[in-house]
Amino acid sequence: MKAPFKLLIIDDSEEILTALTNFFTQKKYDVIAAANGLDGLKHIESKDAYFDLIITDLVLPNISGVAIISIVKKKFPDTPIIAITGWGEHPESLAKEAHADIVLEKPFKLPELEQLVKKLLSSR
Protein backbone atom coordinates (compact mmCIF):
# COMPACT_ATOMS: atom_id res chain seq x y z
CA MET A 1 0.00 0.00 0.00
CA LYS A 2 1.22 3.47 -0.86
CA ALA A 3 2.01 5.76 2.05
CA PRO A 4 -0.54 8.52 2.60
CA PHE A 5 0.07 11.89 1.00
CA LYS A 6 1.50 14.44 3.42
CA LEU A 7 -0.27 17.80 3.56
CA LEU A 8 0.68 21.02 5.34
CA ILE A 9 -2.33 23.19 6.16
CA ILE A 10 -1.77 26.77 7.35
CA ASP A 11 -4.67 28.94 8.54
CA ASP A 12 -5.02 31.36 11.44
CA SER A 13 -8.72 30.55 11.88
CA GLU A 14 -8.85 27.76 14.47
CA GLU A 15 -12.25 26.71 13.12
CA ILE A 16 -11.03 26.36 9.53
CA LEU A 17 -7.75 24.72 10.53
CA THR A 18 -9.55 22.14 12.68
CA ALA A 19 -12.17 21.45 10.00
CA LEU A 20 -9.56 20.97 7.25
CA THR A 21 -7.28 18.87 9.46
CA ASN A 22 -10.12 16.59 10.56
CA PHE A 23 -11.51 16.26 7.04
CA PHE A 24 -8.21 15.30 5.41
CA THR A 25 -7.17 13.05 8.31
CA GLN A 26 -10.45 11.13 7.90
CA LYS A 27 -9.65 10.84 4.19
CA LYS A 28 -6.36 9.13 5.18
CA TYR A 29 -3.97 11.99 4.46
CA ASP A 30 -1.03 12.65 6.78
CA VAL A 31 -1.77 16.21 7.95
CA ILE A 32 0.47 18.75 9.66
CA ALA A 33 -1.37 21.89 10.80
CA ALA A 34 0.04 25.37 11.50
CA ALA A 35 -1.91 28.29 12.98
CA ASN A 36 0.24 31.07 11.50
CA GLY A 37 2.78 31.73 8.76
CA LEU A 38 5.82 31.47 11.02
CA ASP A 39 4.83 28.02 12.31
CA GLY A 40 4.10 26.92 8.76
CA LEU A 41 7.51 28.12 7.61
CA LYS A 42 9.19 26.25 10.49
CA HIS A 43 7.55 23.02 9.28
CA ILE A 44 8.60 23.71 5.68
CA GLU A 45 12.19 24.45 6.65
CA SER A 46 12.65 21.65 9.19
CA LYS A 47 15.43 19.28 8.25
CA ASP A 48 13.33 16.28 7.21
CA ALA A 49 10.42 18.25 5.81
CA TYR A 50 8.66 16.97 2.76
CA PHE A 51 5.10 17.81 1.81
CA ASP A 52 3.17 16.46 -1.15
CA LEU A 53 0.92 19.53 -1.11
CA ILE A 54 0.45 22.74 0.90
CA ILE A 55 -2.82 24.55 1.60
CA THR A 56 -2.34 28.05 2.97
CA ASP A 57 -4.51 30.99 3.83
CA LEU A 58 -3.22 34.17 2.22
CA VAL A 59 -3.74 36.57 5.12
CA LEU A 60 -1.80 35.24 8.12
CA PRO A 61 -0.10 36.70 11.19
CA ASN A 62 3.72 36.86 11.28
CA ILE A 63 4.41 35.76 7.70
CA SER A 64 1.79 36.08 4.96
CA GLY A 65 0.58 33.19 2.86
CA VAL A 66 1.93 35.01 -0.20
CA ALA A 67 5.43 34.98 1.35
CA ILE A 68 5.04 31.27 2.21
CA ILE A 69 4.08 30.51 -1.41
CA SER A 70 7.08 32.46 -2.74
CA ILE A 71 9.51 30.70 -0.38
CA VAL A 72 8.14 27.23 -1.13
CA LYS A 73 8.13 27.76 -4.89
CA LYS A 74 11.79 28.89 -4.78
CA LYS A 75 12.96 25.96 -2.63
CA PHE A 76 10.55 23.25 -3.80
CA PRO A 77 9.18 24.35 -7.19
CA ASP A 78 7.32 21.07 -7.76
CA THR A 79 5.29 21.25 -4.53
CA PRO A 80 1.70 22.14 -5.41
CA ILE A 81 0.10 24.92 -3.36
CA ILE A 82 -3.55 25.80 -2.93
CA ALA A 83 -4.10 29.32 -1.61
CA ILE A 84 -7.36 29.96 0.20
CA THR A 85 -8.69 33.45 0.80
CA GLY A 86 -11.70 35.36 1.94
CA TRP A 87 -10.29 38.66 0.72
CA GLY A 88 -11.48 38.86 -2.89
CA GLU A 89 -9.50 40.18 -5.85
CA HIS A 90 -6.27 41.75 -4.60
CA PRO A 91 -4.77 38.86 -2.56
CA GLU A 92 -5.82 36.50 -5.32
CA SER A 93 -3.63 38.33 -7.84
CA LEU A 94 -0.76 38.30 -5.32
CA ALA A 95 -1.15 34.54 -4.87
CA LYS A 96 -1.03 34.00 -8.61
CA GLU A 97 2.02 36.23 -8.83
CA ALA A 98 3.68 34.12 -6.13
CA HIS A 99 2.84 31.04 -8.26
CA ALA A 100 0.12 29.35 -6.22
CA ASP A 101 -1.22 26.49 -8.31
CA ILE A 102 -4.84 27.18 -7.37
CA VAL A 103 -6.55 30.07 -5.58
CA LEU A 104 -9.79 29.13 -3.85
CA GLU A 105 -12.12 31.71 -2.35
CA LYS A 106 -13.77 31.16 1.02
CA PRO A 107 -16.30 29.88 1.71
CA PHE A 108 -15.75 26.66 -0.20
CA LYS A 109 -17.05 23.13 0.17
CA LEU A 110 -14.67 20.48 1.53
CA PRO A 111 -15.40 18.00 -1.30
CA GLU A 112 -14.52 20.77 -3.80
CA LEU A 113 -11.17 21.31 -2.05
CA GLU A 114 -10.55 17.57 -1.93
CA GLN A 115 -11.12 17.29 -5.70
CA LEU A 116 -8.54 20.05 -6.28
CA VAL A 117 -6.07 18.30 -3.97
CA LYS A 118 -6.56 14.98 -5.81
CA LYS A 119 -6.18 16.70 -9.18
CA LEU A 120 -2.89 18.35 -8.18
CA LEU A 121 -1.51 15.20 -6.57
CA SER A 122 -2.41 13.03 -9.57
CA SER A 123 -0.62 15.37 -11.96
CA ARG A 124 2.71 15.05 -10.10
Separation CA 1–CA 69 (nearest Å): 31
107-117 pLDDT, tens digit each = 899 999 999 99
* Residue segments in the chain with a per-residue pLDDT below the cut of 70: 1-3, 87-92, 94-95
79-94 pLDDT, tens digit each = 999 999 886 556 567 6
| 20 falls within a domain | yes
Give the domain extent around 34.
6-122
* pLDDT score recorded for residue 2: 62
Backbone phi, then psi, for 56, in 5-degree steps? -135, 140
| 45 falls within a domain | yes
Within 10 A of 73 (CB to CB), how many other CB atoms are there?
A: 16
- How is residue 87 annotated by DSSP? S
Amino acid at 12: D
Separation CA 3–CA 16 (nearest Å): 25
Element holding 33 (H helix, E strand): strand 30-34
Overall number of domains in the chain: 1
| 29 falls within a domain | yes
* pLDDT score recorded for residue 91: 58
CATH number at residue 89: 3.40.50.2300
| 1 falls within a domain | no
